[in-house]
Chains A and B, each alone.
Chain A
Amino acid sequence: MLKEYLTVKEIVGPLILLEGVEGAKYNELVEVEFPDGSVGLGNVLEVEEDLVLLQSFEATSGLNIARTKVRFTGRGLELPVSRDILGRVFDGLGRPIDNGPRIIPDKRLDINGNPINPYARDFPTDFIQTGISAIDGLNPLVRGQKLPIFSGAGLPHSRLAAQIARQAGVLGAEEEFAVVFAAMGITFEEAEFFIQEFRSTAAIERAVLFINLADDPAIERIATPRMALTAAEYLAFDLDMHVLVILIDMTYYCEALREISAARKEVPGRRGYPGYLYTDLATIYERAGRIKEARGSITQIPVLSMPDDDKTHPIPDLTGYITEGQIILSRDLHRRGVYPPIDVLPSLSRLKEKGIGPGKTREDHSPLSNQLFSAYARGKEAKELAVILGEAALSEEDRLFVQFSEAFEDRFIRQGEYEDRSIEETLAIGWDLLRILPRAELKRVKEEHIRKYMDNMG
């Protein structure tokens, strides 16, 4: 029998303070029975003597002090898992919402998981071909990596994430894969876009969806990514699958966290976000990777919208400090009609060096990408100069670099939403573009590669 209390003392925003409680544990799951009989979930944020501070995952409207009942479950928040979660849709707290049968659990897993022992990790080294040149060519994704998309309001991050999910595959490999999708605070339409997308490609059979929409309880979002990653860990490390996890939109997750922090009157860090935001995000993002001797893996693509397109805002900033690189979308490219509008210069894949090269992609991949980066950087710099001083102020060379950077955006970065380029195609476009430049400027690529890959092209 669960211990039940009617001793609510205060309700402040999403927080409930209870007194006279015996035996409550930190982070314990509770059931909150509303005066109307409905039941929501919550968990223990702090206990002091007989006082317990709870956060309610359900909106607290309708709660009152006199008739709210709280029951302590004696365990943490768990997700029941079995192979049957594939193809199912859950709410942000892991309850089925697709009218499907109940999950008969293989086991119940605490959604907070445990940190992977760094000694148990295996380094991600398998190149994932996404078919998108701006990613594969310059900022390649590697199996087991956490690579977020930094976006902004109105930018096509959903289309890009969906394209990655649709096209991603490891070269020469036929292995069991799955997609875990967690929506946090996004609109019905955005979520529906993904669901339709998964349906139309039949990927839905291999997908697990956790959906918390904009009008769902905000605090529930705190649990949603953890639900998703618990499912992912089960699929990857118990069932040996390669799992791609899409978390969208981490900004709303962080806002929920801020709401709790503000209600607790904690000393805020930057812009009102709690000082422990870094650590909190790390407990999500670090749940990606590979484990020695395990056959499955977890690759994470969190999506977040940068408030005001500001990369230094705490959410993208702290994310970038934890993840293994970032794909940044550019409003400027988007305005100019370039899809995908990936701003390649500030984008980065930290695992690039380990995932590409001879035997993995091609010997010229790394030097070619460095050359493209530096040439594009120089072209953009020259273009800015031209804006101030006029075209005439540019040297002959600089003009070529400007020409290069324009062609680069048009042919290398730009591609179709359903265009799936092989890595060879991507590299070939890169080499072809370099022909615009004087050969003496191609300092970052080897002469033999120039001869082999640039001169020999048709």
Chain B
Amino acid sequence: MEAGVVVKVSGPLVVARDLPDPKMYDLVKVGKDRLMGEIIELRGNLASIQVYEETAGLGPGDEVISTGEPLSVELGPGLLTSIYDGVQRPLDVIRAKYGNYVTRGVEEPGLSRERRWAFTPAVKVGDQVGPGDILGTVPETKVITHRVMVPVGVEGKVSEIKEGEFTVEDVVAVVETPKGEVPVTMMQRWPVRRPRLYAEKMTPQEPLVTGQRIVDTFFPISKGGTACVPGPFGSGKTVLQHAIAKWANAQIVVFVGCGERGNEMTDVLLEFPELTDPYSGEPLMLRTVLIANTSNMPVAAREASVYTGITIAEYYRDMGYHVALQADSTSRWAEALREISGRLEEMPGEEGYPAYLGTRLAAFYERAGRVVCLGKDRREGSVSAIGSVSPPGGDLSEPVTQATLRVVKVFWGLEDRLAFARHFPAINWLNSYSLYLDKVEDYWRREVEPAYAELREEAMGILQREAELQEVVRLIGIEALSDQERLIMETAKSLREDFLQQNAFDDADAFTSLRKQYRLLRLIMTYHRLAARELEKGRPVEELIDLPVQEEIARAKFIPEEELERFDRLEEKVAEQLAGRASEVRA
């Protein structure tokens, strides 16, 4: 093969001359270690290449070979339970072969070539098939059936179909197309920067239930929706992302650790196989794919990692699954983009970020969505995308946060003030929002409880009133408040502490079903409504607060999911105790 030569090396950026037939985004191999890189700019006979590995030791004269193909991922059975770096190299395999450190020039396929999978056909010889049609299935893990689909561009009659144990490279079907016979394996390749195809996009409807009370009840995300979690360091972005990865009712989770801590990925790796999915009763790892390109790993691979992640997410969507794609943190991706752009000496936009930051971010989140998949059965799938944002100094006016807010529909704003008081999740309930609320409320009405939406609105109103009243207290003191207002403060406190606060590390508190969320909220609001009624009867507020039942309300979040009827008894107790005091007074 003819080769180009390196003329310049500047950090992760290498410029090569005279590459034969270079195309934008082609994958190349650089130097004697054959480091992976990608062409990101072409000028005359010069190609700028971002290299996914450490470039120390490269110099002018080193050879550059083009593969002629864009950076692609391998898609097929074996993705689940894997951990990959940003360009889909399997980190477990790499450790087994090369030791504890990520060494350079390692070439390992994303999918095992040896492992055999049990393929059961879903079509027979003579069937007419087209892109997206399911040729057969493979039990990939105990909980997920992998659907082997006809690749894009293949249409015709099945002339051969197999059954049995095969590797991902074995031919399992042959399709007779107008252009000839096309052998089909269980593995496809797809360029990561190109969105995978679907039949039709639809607006998201159903909530993605995360088990996190402030999220599901106050700022819900839909299946197929987009959300961002901005917050300063230590405010709880990662813990929230992990909680969602654990408890969301997605069928598949793709978690991208993008330029963050190594230990956080280890945490997931050690914890997920031990944790049980509340929906399937099986280990969470069985539905999870991890992409780990930590902060100390090469930045160019970090840039690629979010695309690797979302392509895998789309692939499972195409099988008809609901997928959650989480990226922690998109700011690190943007910084990688900035670093490469700087080395290309592009004209910088705001704070040194390239002018195309906004379009790239928008294009990324656009790959989320609820779709009708390719294939005759018109099955439905979705990718929900949730990105952390790490604004410098916690300042939300910075470019990455702003560009993100323009495209995502849900904003969970984390605040350090809340985190300092150990109020977690530290989501600010006053400025966070969800644009899916209407749709989700319809769902609640149909599937959970007709009165849910109304209850939520009332509770939100109380939290907002609290903020105003706190101002008054701050200026004049607590005496300035009327009894009604004192009650609002009391209820708001209960909402904050007994509903919004949720300890991700407490087994009993970490996950709350929608039904229980509703009951818990109703319990708090029952107290409020009944107490307000007593106030109207002219009773002083002092009699209505500090009731013993309030301690039980505070512990109600720990009521097991199987014992929700205990809420009935608690509501009765609230009524009794509020009335009980009343009779005392009368007596």
Contact = CB atoms under 8 A, between A and B. Distances in A.
B103 interface: yes
B55 A26 contact: yes
Nearest to A377: B421
A325 B233 CA distance: 9
B263 A124 contact: yes
Interface string A386-426: 00110001010000000000000000000000000000000
A324 B56 contact: no
B29 interface: no
A32 interface: no
Interface string B258-271: 01011101110110
Contacts of B390: 321
Given A117-B95, A317-B233, A350-B234, A123 B295 contact: no
A49 B8 CA distance: 6
B266 A123 contact: yes
Question: How many residues of B sit at the interface, in one of the four size bands?
Answer: 35 or more
B352 A47 contact: no
Given A270-B392, A370-B422, 13 more contacts: A115-B262, A118-B265, A119-B95, A124-B263, A269-B351, A278-B295, A279-B339, A291-B100, A317-B232, A318-B392, A321-B233, A374-B421, A388-B474
Contacts of A117: 91, 94-95, 99-102
Interface string B1-23: 00000011111000100000000
Nearest to B503: A370
A443 B497 contact: yes
A346 B95 contact: no
A402 B482 CA distance: 25
A116 B348 CA distance: 33
15 contacts: A24-B60, A25-B57, A113-B101, A115-B296, A116-B101, A117-B91, A117-B94, A121-B265, A123-B270, A278-B295, A279-B339, A286-B262, A294-B100, A320-B234, A373-B422
B416 interface: yes
A291 to B, nearest CB: 5
Given A116-B262, A119-B91, A286-B295, A275 B56 contact: no
B338 interface: yes
A385 interface: yes
Best-surrounded residue of A25, A50, A283, A312 (most CB of chain B within 10 A)? A25
B83 A118 contact: yes
B478 A325 contact: no
Contacts of A26: 9-11, 55-59
B554 A443 contact: yes
Contact of B262 (A49, A118, A278, A321): A118
Contacts of A113: 101
Contacts of A202: none
A24 B352 CA distance: 30
B57 A279 contact: no
B454 interface: no
Contacts of A443: 497, 551, 554
A405 to B, nearest CB: 13
Contacts of A282: 259, 294-296
A28 B60 CA distance: 13
Best-surrounded residue of A45, A267, A314 (most CB of chain B within 10 A)? A267
Contact of A47 (B9, B99, B336, B546): B9
A440 interface: yes
B263 A123 contact: yes
Given A24-B60, A46-B9, A46-B10, A312 B297 contact: no
B9 A266 contact: no
Contacts of A188: none
A370 B501 CA distance: 13
B297 A115 contact: yes
B96 to A, nearest CB: 9
A354 B239 CA distance: 13
Given A291-B100, A320-B233, A377-B422, A112 B262 contact: no
Contacts of A276: 11, 299, 335, 339
A120 interface: yes
B407 to A, nearest CB: 23
B292 interface: yes
A295 B91 CA distance: 22
Contacts of B257: 118
A47 B546 CA distance: 73
Contacts of B332: 278
- Give 3 nearest A-B pairs by CB, closest first: A312-B393, A282-B295, A27-B56
A322 B259 CA distance: 9
A208 B546 CA distance: 59
A25 B392 contact: no
Best-surrounded residue of B57, B262, B265 (most CB of chain A within 10 A)? B262
Interface in A272-315: 275-276, 278-279, 282-283, 286-287, 289, 291-292, 294, 312-314
Contacts of A266: 342
Best-surrounded residue of A48, A278, A320, A322 (most CB of chain B within 10 A)? A278
Contacts of A144: 263
Best-surrounded residue of B263, B339, B393, B551 (most CB of chain A within 10 A)? B263
Given A322-B295, A325-B234, A393-B477, A112 B56 contact: yes
A121 B262 contact: yes
A345 B266 CA distance: 27
Interface in B519-533: none
Contacts of A112: 54, 56
A287 B262 CA distance: 10
A296 to B, nearest CB: 12
Nearest to A326: B234
B395 A312 contact: yes
A120 B94 CA distance: 10
B61 A23 contact: yes
A89 interface: no
B279 interface: no
Contacts of B195: none
Given A122-B266, A267-B352, A48 B422 contact: no
B99 to A, nearest CB: 8
Nearest to A314: B392
Nearest to A237: B100
Best-surrounded residue of B11, B265, B395 (most CB of chain A within 10 A)? B11
Contacts of A27: 55-57
Contacts of B576: none
B402 to A, nearest CB: 15
Given A282-B295, A326-B234, A50 B478 contact: no
Best-surrounded residue of A121, A237, A286, A291 (most CB of chain B within 10 A)? A121
Contacts of B61: 23
Interface string A323-343: 011100000000000000000
B420 A346 contact: yes
Contacts of B83: 118-119
A308 to B, nearest CB: 13
B191 interface: no
A237 B232 CA distance: 34
Nearest to B338: A275
A120 B554 CA distance: 42
A16 to B, nearest CB: 16
Best-surrounded residue of A116, A119, A292, A385 (most CB of chain B within 10 A)? A119
Contact of A119 (B10, B269, B339, B419): B269
Contacts of B351: 269-270
B131 interface: no
Contacts of A325: 234
A294 B101 CA distance: 13
Nearest to A26: B9
Interface in B256-294: 257, 259, 261-263, 265-267, 269-270, 292, 294
Interface string B39-83: 000000000000000111111110000000000000000000001
A275 B339 contact: yes
Nearest to A345: B420
Contacts of B121: none
B477 A389 contact: yes
